A and B are shown apart, each in its own frame.
Chain A
Amino acid sequence: MTDTVIKAENLSRHFGDVKAIQNLDLEVNKGLIYGFLGPNGSGKTTAIRMLTGLLIPSSGKVEVLGYTLPKDADKLRLRIGYMTQKFSLYDDLTVQENLQFIARIYSLPTRQQKKRIEELLSIYGLENKRDQLAGSMSGGQRQRLSLSAATLHKPELLFLDEPTSAVDPENRRDFWEQLFDLSDQGTSILVSTHYMDEAERCHKLAILETGIKRADGSPDELMNNMGAQVVEIASSSLRRLKQQLIALPEVISAAQLGARLRVLVKDSITDPVSFLSQQASINADDQLTQVRPSLEDVFVTSTGASRQ
């Protein structure tokens, strides 16, 4: 077996007339954190459900950890962990009872069960919450409990579906630290998100929109190859300027960031700063600077096509 943990070819899934995923090709390597970036309804959850064997693809091939899906879904289940978007453990069970239930379902030997649960409670800082009902915990605590339940049987591959959507920024940072720890121990992780900063932390990512993969690669690759350059303009009349610039065919988008306007210009213009300075709408005292692209710019350029 090679280092590929997930391999999907031409994967599609329809719900009636709705095409949730269209012709998705995917290759995820072992030991990496792979991200699915996309807005709500872009097919992230559907893609993850197909990769875990919960949904049967309408067409296409999927191979996860060497198992062909959906045929070998039962065997695959022992080796993957899945953290659902919505909290899916039992609200009316305590932290410890929830973990015990999962440990028994995966038939861990009794002595190992205790040890593993203690280990997880300490890793995820839930030791003093062990007798609290899961339903009465905060979003961050529940998320840590979900992660500990999903990793209890030490899966080789972990699927996380928008794990941080109900969590504050500080908890989000801690959570990613824990993901990097897992990744460091050799766990491959596939995580979906709609936060740019989270996507930027992934080793590699795929940008999804309306069920279609628009781009993939490492964040740096994506930023370098996005086919556009970024200029920031500091001006006094940004709202008017934005309307005028966006009408130019060479300008992909313009977005206001506080007192500056962030303009994406097509790569065909070699010197975007002088190109923009020549425009009638730019005043002499406006300041133009070319800046490093961000992942958000990548997202805008790669998904913009279908919105226009």
Chain B
Amino acid sequence: MKSLIRIRAIVGKELIQLKRDRMTFGMIVMIPLIQLLLFGYAINTNIRHIPAGIVDYSNTGLSRILIQTISATRVVKFSTRYSDVQQAQKGLASGEVRAVLIIPSDVSQRLVRHPAVGFGSPPSTDEETSRPVAQWLVDGSDTVIAAGIKSLRSMPLVELLNIPPNRNTPTFEVTLLYNPEQRTAVNIVPGLVAIILTMTMIMFTSAAIVRERERGNMEMLITTPVRPIELMVGKIIPYIFIGAIQVSIILGLGHLLFKVPINGSLLQLAGATFLFITASLTLGLVISTIAKNQLQSMQMTIFVLLPSILLSGFMFPYEGMPEIAQYIAEALPATHFMRLIRGVVLREVEIIDMTFDVTWLTLFTLVGLMIASLRFKKRLD
């Protein structure tokens, strides 16, 4: 009973301080708002408009049509013409263009012999007949851009030849569930919830306790009857609400602006979010018991934040990482929440069916709370 009174006292005090700290209060709303707008529009894994150059040794009607056909795919945007390959390579090196299309002088002969024209597939060993129509020189350092150009490798040339498309039967039929239009925002927006919560929740709690120590309030607090666990819980509660506000902003706006569907039930969503917020908050508490000042707590927050962005599956698929990286990723709460929230929001799963992630987040919170309370001594030495 007295314990509850003390927790309420700390929550009340925390809320008053938060209310007076306009800047922090503003950041609570502005961080998710601006980052959502920024990333929602900016992050796009579909490659468009790669700046490209041309070296056209043939300079015929055919080569011009070929260029137009490629431009029509909008994967590349031809910006510069080079007179020879040496110049083109300089352009690549300077970063003026990311790829160069080299059209040989015998492009029409090559095209006529090309299998797509319809004289049947020649044996690939035959050098005369299996030669490609033209060549791309690509700045391959960025694998995403390289993949974009590679996707052009076997583009159909039907428009070029004005013949009906030679419809091959595909080996597989692919049905895209949950995001049939392949819009990046659908995947990014729920992931953004995990990233922004990781950042704000860990930072706020770790700074909140370290600040008390820096300003000397801790010396007073520890001479009062307040228990470490009461202090910890009292510090966490206000931020649970703040986390909830941030999630509502991100998913609400994501739904309005980027048409991200919210397929699962709101209750499931609230459950998953609660698990993750408490896990992040306790991580912040643990940091606060290690850090001596606010700068250190900030550094440790970023130490957790970066892998949460890069390894959690937010940027790159979890499955594509090497095994060791996967183990590291499993340790981060963000990875588990990334699965949960994408599952609930996009695939309508019940979180109870994702036992592993739910258990892991719960255990993380309990163990974290225990470590923080044990490490937090009511002493100065």
* Number of residues of chain A lying within 8 A (CB) of chain B: 31
A89 within 8 A of B: yes
Residues from chain B with Cβ under 8 Å of A275 in the complex: none
B17 contacts A107, C-beta separation under 8 Å: no
Q: Are B217 and A92 in contact (CB under 8 A)?
A: no
A195 within 8 Å of B by Cβ?
Answer: no
Q: Is the CB of A84 within 8 A of B219?
A: yes
- Counting CB contacts under 8 A, is A90 at the interface? yes
Q: A299 on the interface (CB 8 Å rule)? A: no
Total number of A-B contacts with CB less than 8 angstroms? 76
- Minimum CB–CB distance from A12 to chain B (whole Å) comes to 14
The answer to whether B2 and A107 have CB atoms under 8 Å apart is: yes
25 residue pairs of the A-B complex, CB under 8 angstroms, read A54-B223, A54-B379, A70-B379, A73-B378, A82-B223, A86-B216, A86-B219, A87-B216, A88-B219, A89-B217, A90-B13, A90-B217, A91-B215, A92-B20, A93-B16, A97-B13, A101-B9, A104-B6, A104-B8, A105-B10, A105-B221, A105-B226, A106-B225, A107-B225, A149-B220
Report the 8 A-B pairs with minimum CB-CB distance, sorted nearest first. A104-B9, A88-B220, A82-B223, A107-B2, A86-B216, A88-B216, A105-B224, A54-B380
Inside 8 A of A220's CB, which chain B residues have their CB? none
Interface membership of B222, Cβ < 8 A: yes
B319 CB-CB contact with A under 8 Å? no
Q: Report the minimal beta-carbon distance from B212 to chain A, rounded to whole angstroms.
A: 9
B72: Cβ under 8 A from any A Cβ: no
Which residues of B are found within 8 Å of A92, using beta-carbon distances? 16-17, 20-21
Q: Does B5 contact A (CB under 8 A)?
A: yes
Name the B residues within 8 Å of A105 (CB-CB). 6, 9-10, 221, 224-226
A positions within 8 Å CB-CB of B: 49, 52-56, 70, 73-74, 77-78, 80, 82, 84, 86-93, 97, 101-102, 104-107, 133, 149
Which B residues contact A (CB, under 8 angstroms)? 2, 5-6, 8-10, 12-13, 16-17, 20-21, 215-226, 378-381
| CB proximity of B70 to chain A, nearest CB, Å | 62
Q: Which one of A82, A84, A104 contacts B216 once the chains associate, using CB atoms below 8 Å?
A: A84
Inter-chain contacts of A87 with B (CB < 8 A): 216
B225 touches A101 (CB 8 A): no
Contacts of B378 in A (CB 8 A): 54, 73-74
- Which of B13, B216, B224, B380 contacts A49, CB < 8 Å? B380
Question: Residue A55 contacts which of B6, B220, B379 (CB distance < 8 angstroms)?
Answer: B379
Chain B residues near A73 (CB, 8 Å)? 378
Which chain B residues border A106 with CB–CB below 8 Å?
A: 224-225
Q: Which A-chain residue is minimally distant from B226 (CB atoms)?
A: A105
- The CB with the most chain B CB atoms within 10 A, among A56, A80, A101, A133, is that of A101
| Given A77-B225, A105-B225, A106-B224; 15 other pairs, CB 8 A cutoff | A54-B378, A55-B380, A74-B225, A77-B223, A78-B225, A82-B223, A84-B216, A84-B220, A88-B215, A88-B216, A88-B220, A89-B220, A101-B9, A107-B2, A133-B20
- A55-B16 Cα distance, complex, nearest whole Å: 31
Main SS of chain B's interface residues?
helix
- Which of A52, A86, A90 is most buried by chain B, counting CB atoms within 10 A of its CB? A90
A306 to chain B, nearest CB (A): 26
Query: Could you tell me the distance between the alpha carbons of A84 and B220 in the complex, rounded to whole angstroms?
Result: 7
Chain A residues positioned under 8 Å from B221 (CB to CB) = 105
| Residues A52 and B223 in contact, CB atoms below 8 Å apart | yes
Chain A nearest CB from B236 CB (Å) reads 17
Report the Cα distance A102→B220, complex, angstroms: 10
Counting chain A CB atoms within 10 Å of each CB, the highest count among B6, B8, B215 belongs to B215
A residues less than 8 Å from B12 (CB atoms): 101, 104
Q: Are B219 and A97 in contact (CB under 8 A)?
A: no
Q: Report yes or no: B13 in contact with A55, Cβ–Cβ below 8 A.
A: no
From residue B18, how far is it (CB to closest CB) to chain A in Å?
10
Bound Cα distance A180, B221 (Å): 26
How far does the alpha carbon of A104 sit from the alpha carbon of B224 in the complex, in Å?
11
Q: Which residues of B contact A91 (CB under 8 A)?
A: 215
Question: Are B224 and A54 closer than 8 Å at their CB atoms?
Answer: no
Measured CB to CB, the closest approach of chain A to B242, in angstroms, equals 18
Name A161's closest neighbour in chain B (CB-CB).
B219
A162 CB to closest chain B CB (Å) equals 13
Give Cα A217 to B17, complex, Å: 46
A92 to B24 Cα, complex, angstroms: 14
Q: What's the minimum C-beta distance from A99 to chain B, rounded to whole angstroms?
A: 12
Residues of B within 8 A of A56 (CB): 379, 381
Tell me the bound Cα distance from A131 to B277 in angstroms.
Answer: 35
Residue among B5, B9, B217, B220 with the most chain A CB within 10 A? B220
Nearest Cβ distance between residue B77 and chain A, in whole angstroms?
54
**Could you tell me the distance in whole angstroms from the C-beta of B53 to the nearest C-beta in chain A?**
60
In the bound complex, do residue B8 and residue A90 qualify as a contact, i.e. CB atoms below 8 Å apart? Answer: no
Residue of A nearest to B3 (CB): A107
Closest to B381 in A: A55
Q: Are B16 and A88 in contact (CB under 8 A)?
A: no
User: A70, A77, A84, A86: which contacts B224 (Cβ < 8 A)?
Assistant: A77
Distance in angstroms between the alpha carbons of A78 and B219 in the assembled complex: 15
A104 to B220 alpha-carbon distance, docked (Å): 14
